């Protein structure tokens, strides 16, 4: 089911206003009409390196039994074994 859901979110082709199919090389012109919502300052902040302390605080703040992540593990796993797996997560 999850695989099918991911497949349905793919863009298989793009058309311009005249119905002409455009390839990857045309992406700049196709996207030129989209407003910029992420400023340079926001982008700089988003590209900062993660601080290990912030990651641990976030992991510990998750509801332990909520939906698992892409790896199939619920937050409880990370919370219980953080002292063992944290170095691998930070890599």
The residue length of the chain stands at 91
- Please choose, from the candidates 64, 61, 57, the residue with its C-alpha nearest in 3D space to the C-alpha of residue 86: 57
Q: What domain range is 71 assigned to?
A: 2-90
CA distance 68 to 74: 4
CA distance 48 to 43: 9
pTM given for the model:
0.49
Strands (E), the chain: 14-15, 21-22
Look at the chain and report how many structural domains it folds into. 1
Answer whether 55's CB lies under 8 Å from 90's CB.
Answer: yes
pLDDT in tens, 19-76: 877 766 655 666 677 777 888 999 999 999 888 999 999 999 999 998 888 889 999 9
């Amino acid at each position: 089911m999850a695989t099918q859901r991911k497949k349905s979110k793919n863009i298989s082709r793009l058309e311009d206003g005249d119905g002409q199919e455009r390839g990857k090389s045309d992406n700049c012109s196709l996207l030129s009409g989209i407003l910029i919502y992420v400023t340079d300052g926001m982008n700089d902040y988003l590209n900062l390196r993660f601080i290990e302390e912030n990651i641990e605080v976030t992991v510990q703040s998750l509801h332990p039994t909520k939906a698992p992540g892409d790896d199939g593990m619920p937050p409880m796993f990370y919370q219980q074994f953080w002292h063992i797996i944290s170095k691998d997560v930070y890599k």
